[in-house]
Chain A
Amino acid sequence: MSATALEARGSSERLLNPWVRRGFGIAALASLVALAIVGLAVAPPDAVQGDAQRIMYVHVPAAWLAYLAFGVTSVSSTLYLWPRTRALVWDRIAGASAELGVVFTSLTLVLGSLWGRPVWGVWWAWDARLVTTAVLFFLYLGYLALRRIPAAVDVRAKRCAIAALIAFVDVPIVHFSVTWWRTLHQQATVFNPKLDAEIHGSMALALWLGVLAFTLLYVYLLDLRYRLEVLDEDRDERELETAIADRVRGAGVPTAPGAVGVSS
């Protein structure tokens, strides 16, 4: 990368100090181990659902994380579009967070399905919350597809930020319409996944541990993904520079075969 490009990028090279990131990684790992112990061994099996209920200790935190991640994507997309705060940092955070959000939404859906089979007797139910989550998953999957389209960095950033905000605006409409659909058509769903108010102490502990562990993991992964994005941009730039340098020196064909087509 050239000196000017480095200057332009400045402090946005990384989000967290590498040591801080490592700290988050270790804390996430430790709390995940603690979650496994409390969730699998300490907390008693549920009176009705038995051991299947233990899936909740990862399902609920995964769902929380998906919402958090999409929330971060929306906020940073807004910050990118707002002229005063426009900076590539926000675009990279939005992309990294959306990726994590999609991963954790699919995890939520899969875990929910695994739980639903023994407890409800079906893999999938047309419950309002499930349908909304599925639509959410596809909304951001499309966003990620858009991100993969090569374009000038600022063009792509603006395009993606707008797409992210459209997805964000759409979520409440999807939720309301799906809720109406299910309530107008069938009387109260058979199951009511309401958490009991008198939840056993160690069960609550496991849930909170899960939320904590997943949040720490999110911060760690977000920073890692951000760093990867920066390195990726650098590589593209360097490939191009090497190719140009080779040409100028009269060395003939560029060394990297994919280097020429980068500019599209």
Chain B
Amino acid sequence: MNLFQEAALIAGKDLRIERRARVVSQQILPFGLIVLLLFAFALDPDRGVLRRVAPGLFWVTVLLATLLAISRSFGIESENAARDGLRLSGLDGSAVFLGKAAALALELLVFEALLTFGVVVLFDVHLAALVPLCLATAAATVGLAATGTLYGVLAAGIRARETLVPVLMLPVVAPVLLGATRAWESSIDGPTSDAWPWVAMLGVFAVLFVGIGMLAFGPLLEES
């Protein structure tokens, strides 16, 4: 089996568990929509504030949901000594990382697609330039999934991991929030050309953290 087949195996396992348990679709997704409602309560929907700040609200919501998804992604490994099984499986550490990150990214993409629908309907946002918007979203999601998987395994086995992961991860992904929000703003209100540097930055971030994750995941998994 090569690296990608092994990764696909792990991603398949995570997605199969999700299909059966439906934690992301029945708990994290409603959570995202509730947050959108809360934003509307907190910021007056009548004055167009929501429309103007929608990209920022969208990405803050995604960040919060990512934290929950990471917790879930490593929660399933902590039950029934699944982490020991993973260690004993003989799969390459990089492959396990890629698999878990890919599953997380897929879940987040589905979440984002539905949340986008929510933002369009509830906040009256018109998505003008779809290409940079989708590229920025994809790159940002890969970056978030990679950092999330990395910090997930770093904190695995620590009793306080639910509180530790946000403190460790949020400052690191601050550039993702910044870049994705700006790219969305430019894609919605223009000029579209302003979005491209951010898409590039998000791409660099994603590549960098996928690389770090592939290197560091194996040693961290062994000793967690």
* Contacts from A to B (Cβ < 8 Å): 135, 138-139, 141-143, 145-146, 149, 151, 154-155, 158-159, 162-163, 165-167, 169-170, 173-174, 176-178, 180-181, 184
Contacts and interface: CB of A to CB of B under 8 A. Distances in A.
Given A166-B212, A177-B179, A141 B154 contact: no
Interface string B147-159: 0001000110010
Interface string B163-192: 010011011101100110010000000000
A159 B154 contact: yes
Contacts of A163: 154, 168
A177 B201 contact: yes
Nearest to B143: A173
Contacts of B219: 158, 162
- Which 6 residue pairs across A and B have the least CB separation, nearest first? A177-B175, A138-B171, A142-B168, A142-B167, A139-B171, A155-B223
Contacts of B48: none
B205 to A, nearest CB: 6
Interface of B (DSSP majority class): helix
A173 B40 CA distance: 32
Contacts of A155: 223-224
Given A138-B171, A159-B223, A162-B220, A184 B205 contact: no
Interface residues of B, number: 29
Given A142-B167, A155-B223, A170 B154 contact: no
Given A141-B167, A166-B212, A170-B172, 10 more contacts: A142-B164, A142-B168, A146-B164, A158-B220, A159-B223, A162-B154, A166-B172, A173-B205, A177-B175, A177-B201
Given A149-B164, A169-B208, A173-B201, A178 B178 contact: yes
Contacts, number: 75
B71 to A, nearest CB: 16
Contact of B194 (A149, A162, A169, A184): A184
Nearest to A264: B159
Nearest to A173: B175
Contacts of B175: 170, 173-174, 176-178
Q: Which of A138, A155, A177 has the most CB of B within 10 A?
A: A177
Interface of B: 150, 154-155, 158, 160, 164, 167-168, 170-172, 174-175, 178-179, 182, 194, 197-198, 201, 204-205, 208, 212, 216, 219-220, 223-224
A162 B216 contact: yes
A162 B216 CA distance: 7
Contacts of B208: 169, 173
B216 A167 contact: no
Q: Which of B167, B172, B201, B220 has the most CB of A within 10 A?
A: B172
A146 B164 CA distance: 7
A155 B219 CA distance: 10
A145 B164 contact: yes
Contacts of A138: 167, 170-171
B171 A142 contact: yes
B206 to A, nearest CB: 11
A262 to B, nearest CB: 15
A178 B177 CA distance: 11
